Structure 1
Amino acid sequence: MPDLTPNLRDIGGLPAAGGRATATGRVLRSAVPRAGDLAPDGIAWPPSLVIDLRSSTELAEAHPLSAAGARIVNVPLLAALRPGVAPVDTLTLLYRLVLDTAADELVRLVDEIAHEPGPTLVHCAAGKDRTGISIALLLRLVGVSGDDVLHDYNLTEHARHEIDARLRPSSAGPPPAHTYPPGFAHVSPEAIESVLEVWDGHGDGVEGWFVEAGGSSTSVDQLRRTLLA
């Protein structure tokens, strides 16, 4: 029987700048999907664009949604964690590593989503850490409050059983390419708050951070046209 993609949800309906709200059917977030996965009622599926945040060592030969006609774009956010590099031991340090080493990839993610006319799925392995940072950036750039970003991030806690089942090795198939380091399976509000603090601490706010990372205000304006109702 087909499974539901774990941790799948639409980020629409969140209050944003100027009394507007994020549009439904524009951006989805989830754990890694499988071919044949179903989506809950009300979710636009399959997406027209998939942003896969996993590193090359986690990727199979073909993305499971490519056969459904989705355009697949790989935006690896943890390429810095290659063999021989000292590992980080907290999620806060992991999230800050993404900002320090993959800001250009986050810019590319925003540019892709800003110009995509159809629904976009953003996912990594669990849909928690790399996906959490990416979604937080999208939401803050369109004026969603830090409190609402944190609330959306924390919703992943309710999907931990399904995520663990998806990532757990099984004798019925090949082992998953991604496993959690010890202590990393939990949701960490402190970690995502540390990311928000970096963006909000920039002299020109999150948009200033984005532009300094190589993005443009034009891209932010287009993202707002795409993502806001």
Structure 2
Amino acid sequence: MIDIRLANQRGRGQFSWLSSKHSFSFADYHDTERMVFSSLRVINDDTVAAAAGFDTHGHRDMEIISYVTMGEMAHKDSKGNIQALPAGEFQLMSAGRGIYHSEFNVSQDSPLQFLQIWIEPNELGGEASYQQKSFTQTGPITAIVTPSGEAGTLKVKQDAYLYRLSLAAQQQVSYDIKPLRKVYIHLIQGQLTIGGAKLTAGDGAAITHLSQLELQAQGDKEAIGLLFDLA
């Protein structure tokens, strides 16, 4: 089954410095049918105004992934990590028993756009940790996050895999799904068909009870997105 969540159906958070679109229930947005998908708890599509950002705040027992799609983010946390996260790089912060951090838009005149993703861990507590990396796209489907950190990927505390999709115009690729696993796709750019279902930028697709996906970029532009393979 393929359950499409259109971009304009997402929840909204609107402030003077932040515009946020929520694929799952978050903050003041509550939808009992969109609480979590397997261990995937949050996909927030955030646009942060110039020279603004999230003041220091805390997390615990959550795997938090950030992916900047435009601009550059300044990150600082209570473990002593002070990093710049430019567009195209991935950050994974394992909150463990607790961590405090802040995130700001480096630019004084342009907005920052990034995806904030939360995955519920399969083990609680432990030391917080920080990972960050830029990945070269090695094909239409490139591994970014894995449970083991294999082949230089970021290591997550969950039986979850994150891949970056990059399909040239009209390119088609198959993705095999192992028994009992679920897949979630979030499209960032372009147009993509999954079987007979069509996604445009900002749309999501929750996929269950299938063994294979046929993905194809539509139109004359590259299709870019994220694919989550979940237990």
TM over 0.5: same fold?
no
**Greater percentage in strand:** 2
Tell me which of the two structures has the higher relative contact order, counting C-alpha pairs closer than 8 angstroms and 6 or more residues apart. 1
**Greater percentage in helix:** 1
Give the structure-2-normalised TM-score.
0.30
